[in-house]
Structure 1
Amino acid sequence: MKNFIPFLLSIFFISCQQKENKMDAVENKTDSTETSQPIVVEKNKEENKQIGDTIFLNSINEKDVFIAEGVLDSIHPRAYVKFKNEDLGELNAKIIPTTGKGNIRFNQIIFPDNTSDGPFGMDLKIPVKQKGNYILVIGHSQMADSPFWGEFRVEVSTISNKQ
């Protein structure tokens, strides 16, 4: 029995080493095939996607509105919508849950100078006095029962003061 445990441990470590070597070999093969072919980068029109708990708003539609879909779940109870605004005026945003209604709202807006305001409801209208990167924090209300879990759509637009 004393010799059996070291024997099992040595087999375990050897098998782990073999898996790592196989993974390295697979990565090397994919690297060599990728460099031999020309790389064609296609710009995807729908760039407003959620990655982890963050939604990056990069593309705007023909109506000058950022539209993205997101998900709140037990792993990501908040979604952070990040976008860059270059216009002064009024920021309009709204959350549309796929289920129709739910305990979901704009918890906070973080301005480019790192000041914040909130909470808000499912609709947000606020004057924009700064240019730069904004963050909208979406989540459920801590004061209400049954947190929202599911898919939603967020629409963000700015109305410029330019005449």
Structure 2
Amino acid sequence: MKIFLMLLISIFFFSCHQKEKENAADAAPYPIVKKKKKEENKQIGDTIHMNFRNKKGSFTGEGSLDSIHSRVYIKFKNEDLGALQARIVPTTGQGNIRFNQIIFPDNSSDGPFGMDLKIPLKQKGDYILVIGHSLMADNPYWGKFKVELENKKE
């Protein structure tokens, strides 16, 4: 009985050891290729974090306004003093959508603006742009849009 049990245990360990060698041999000749994740500035919740610049050095992001997210916050970090040129491009071409407010790093704010924004950036730090529909006009905009931000250095 002891001999049978010892034989059974040794066969079990030997078979487990063989599977490990086979898995290691199978993985060796095939290299693992990781796909590069495309860098995009997309809306998460009600915020678009502008972390990735395009080839021109400006920020471009995609977002949408709906009944749940009636305002979208664009957050970006400014490292250089200069002038900010921003533009909202609705997918439908036109719509009741605008830059409602800009919040500066010192928590002061300015606004409202239109679909285009040109403003000097006199502070370094984190800025927030608030996008929504104009409360002075009818028919709020619901749908997708693109935001383009460009910081022209002085």
Do they fold alike, i.e. is TM over 0.5? yes
What does residue 138 of structure 1 align with?
131
Runs of 4+ in 1 over 2 A off after TM superposition: 40-47
Task: Tell me the CA shift for residue 46 of structure 1.
Answer: 2.3
Deviations 1:97-138 (A, max 9, x none): 000000000000000000000000000000010000000000
Structure 1 unaligned segments of length 5 or more: list them.
1-39
Please give the TM-score of this superposition, normalised by the length of structure 1. Answer: 0.72
Partner of residue 108 from structure 1, selected from 96, 101, 104: 101
Pairs aligned (count): 122
Structural mapping, 1:15-94, within 5 Å: 44-94=37-87
Cα distance between partner residues in 2 of 1:160 and 1:85: 11
In 1, the alpha carbon distance for the partners of 2:41 and 2:49 equals 6
**Could you tell me how far apart the structure 1 residues matched to 2:97 and 2:71 are?**
10
The structure whose Rg is larger is 2
Structure 2 residues without counterparts, runs of 5 or longer: 1-32
Q: TM-score, normalised by structure 2?
A: 0.76
RMSD between aligned residues: 1.4
1:147 is aligned to 2:140:
yes
1:119 corresponding residue in structure 2: 112
Task: Give the share of equivalent positions with the same residue, in percent.
Answer: 71
